[in-house]
Amino acid sequence: MEEAKNWANLPPDVLGLIFNKFCFKEKLLIFPRVCKSWNHAVLGRPNCWQTIDLLDWSLPREYSSSDHDIDKMLRFLVTRASAAFQEIVIGNIQNDLTFSFFIDHSRSLRTLEIPWSNVSDSIVEHVAEKLSGVTRINLSYCRNIRVRGIRAIGENCKSLVGLKRNKHPFDISCVKVEEATTIAATMPKLKHLELTFNYFDMENVEKIIESCHELKFLDIRGCSYVHLNHGWLQKCAPKVMVLGPNINHRDRIDDANDDDDDDHNVDDNDDDDWWGYNLRGL
């Protein structure tokens, strides 16, 4: 190769591809600082920021990030990536203002995962209209979201195919079965549903399976009031893979993945993480 070439002016398409292989923190702490033209190339390109996965960074158990940090970060993302993000995974959002500011500025959102967040029912109701394009939502361990929030999601996100609404085993604040009823009533397109450690019974499970015709995966581990009616399941829901209610029920995950490879159609390919029964962070 010729004399030492300087790669400051790497074509943006090439830089973008390399950039997208990095995790959020590296994207932010390395690339923009290398030189001015890289800064311009990555911060100026909305498609560099379509997928934002900050779960590891924002988890409460790490105690590494404060409420203030998350607020600052979301504001940064909104100003840099404007409306471009399609997928956001961030835990531990502590206030409604941050959440609504963020949703107000996200026009292309398809996947919204905010486990362990403190956002309230009223703010979810307030922004739900703007979430109409969202197809997958993770509201696990969000203790302040109750049935009203779930109903607002169901009524507005008409294309919702995935819902994670797992509860913490020691969280007894969220007793009600109404959530299960609401899911059955408002989310008929669900394919993937996680409801671990909830307090409904087999009747609710039947209702959900009867209403969600496309359901393929139902996780009800830790839902100790459910006494599975295997006969009914085999007859009425042969295609639904049910995990639980036994909390140690993980052995079938591998089988399910095998099935997936064999007979699932191509359009699920972009959903690997979700449909792959990857239980990370849940």
Partner 1 sequence: MSKKTLTLMSKDKQLFNIEEHLAVQSVTIRNMVKEDGASSVIPLPRVDSETLALVIEYLNRQQAPEEDEDYVKKFVDERGEIPTLLELAQAALDLDIKKLMDAACMKVADLIKDFTLEEVREALRIENDRTPEEEKAIRDEFQWAF
Nearer to partner 1, 10 or 78 (CB): 10
Residues 145/175, Cβ–Cβ less than 8 Å: no
Residues 125-164 that bind partner 1 (CB under 8 A): none
**Among residues 29, 97, 172, 175, the one that binds partner 1 under rule CB under 8 A:** 29
Q: What is the DSSP string of 232-259?
A: HHHHH-TT-EEE-SSTT--THHHHHHHH
Nearest one of 53, 112, 105, 113 to 81, comparing CA atoms:
105
Q: Cis before residue 245, ω within 30 degrees of 0?
A: yes
Stretch of residues binding partner 1 (CB under 8 A), selected from 69-77, 84-92, 233-241, 261-269:
69-77
**Among residues 2, 258, 261, 262, the one that binds partner 1 under rule CB under 8 A:** 2
Stretch of residues binding partner 1 (CB under 8 A), selected from 32-40, 100-108, 191-199, 221-229:
32-40
**Among residues 40, 67, 72, 264, the one that binds partner 1 under rule CB under 8 A:** 72
Nearer to partner 1, 1 or 266 (CB): 1
Q: Shortest gap between Cβ of 92 and partner 1 (angstroms)?
A: 14
Q: Shortest gap between Cβ of 139 and partner 1 (angstroms)?
A: 25
Report the alpha-carbon distance of residue 54 to residue 65 in Å, rounded.
11
Nearer to partner 1, 21 or 235 (CB): 21
Burial class (CB in 10 A: 0-12, 13-18, 19+), 251: exposed
Nearest one of 109, 274, 254 to 190, comparing CA atoms:
274
Nearer to partner 1, 28 or 142 (CB): 28
Q: Residue 256: which region, alpha, beta or left (left: phi > 0; alpha: psi -120 to 50)?
A: alpha
Stretch of residues binding partner 1 (CB under 8 A), selected from 70-78, 85-93, 233-241, 252-260:
70-78
Residues 83-112 that bind partner 1 (CB under 8 A): none
Helices (H), 105-146: 121-127
Report helix angle 12-19 to 36-43, nearest 10.
Answer: 70
Burial class (CB in 10 A: 0-12, 13-18, 19+), 14: exposed
Q: Does 10 interact with partner 1 (rule: CB under 8 A)?
A: yes
Q: Give the binding site for partner 1 (CB under 8 A).
A: 1-2, 4-8, 10-11, 13-14, 17-18, 21-22, 25-26, 28-30, 32-36, 38-39, 68-69, 72-73, 76
